Amino acid sequence: MGLQLDWSFYNWDLLQNFVLKGLGFSLTLTLIATLGGVLFGTLLALMRLSGRRWLAMPATVYVNGMRSIPLVMVILWFFLLVPLLIGRPIGAELSAVITFVAFEAAYFSEIMRAGIQSIPRGQVQAGLALGMSYGQNMRLVVLPQALRNMLPVLLTQTIILFQDTSLVYAIGAYDMLKGFEVAGKNFGRPIEAYLAAAVLYFAICYALSAGVKRLHRKIAIVR
């Protein structure tokens, strides 16, 4: 017997009542995790490049540790252990935000570190020769150029981050995938629901990837 889909399942009510709320959280989580991850990741990268062992060592341990653990495990740890430490629950959505910022910072840190190291050493020395401090040199000379070099990679990591937001289902957060799952259960159409989720994830990520490729070509032309 062939697979028969109920095409009437795909309608505006599905999006309005189930999917848009979850999509909103997925996009919000992606945005917050990207901004927080870049800021925290930049700090970690600067610590590792500082040349001071007491700064570089803990940053290295943190980055390598986070990159060695599956994200879903980190999500579960934060969701289950943090309430025990603080003595009260924090909710699935807030737990997901904290987890993603902490986890993605390790990956953004490596991107930032590579970008900073891509800047010719002569520019750093020139800034120091002009009397700039280490912080001024990084803020005014190195980081603006490094961010331009890293932008396509940062955006690609953000797309991966958006895909990873589907893992918050493990703690019951209402993301886009959860919206489709709830709709599938309510209408008894799980196959149609998961198929629609796959198509929407593909459409969003493909469009974003195409945008990143165009941006990369423009940056290459400017160079």
CATH class of 7-222: mainly alpha
Q: What is the helix (H) or strand (E) element at residue 22, kind and residue range?
A: helix 20-49
CA 145 to chain centre: 22
| Residue 204, token pair as written in the block | 């969003």
Per DSSP, 88 falls in state S
> pLDDT tens track of the chain, all 223 residues?
456 777 777 888 888 888 999 999 999 999 999 999 999 999 999 899 888 899 999 999 999 999 999 999 999 998 988 888 888 888 899 999 999 999 999 999 999 988 888 887 777 777 777 777 777 777 778 888 888 888 888 999 999 999 999 999 889 999 999 999 999 898 888 898 999 999 999 999 999 999 988 887 877 655 5
Residue 159 and residue 209 in contact, taking contact as beta carbons nearer than 8 Å = yes
Domain boundaries along the sequence of the chain: 7-222
**How many Å apart are CA 97 and CA 62, to the nearest integer?**
18
Place of tokens 């060695």: 68
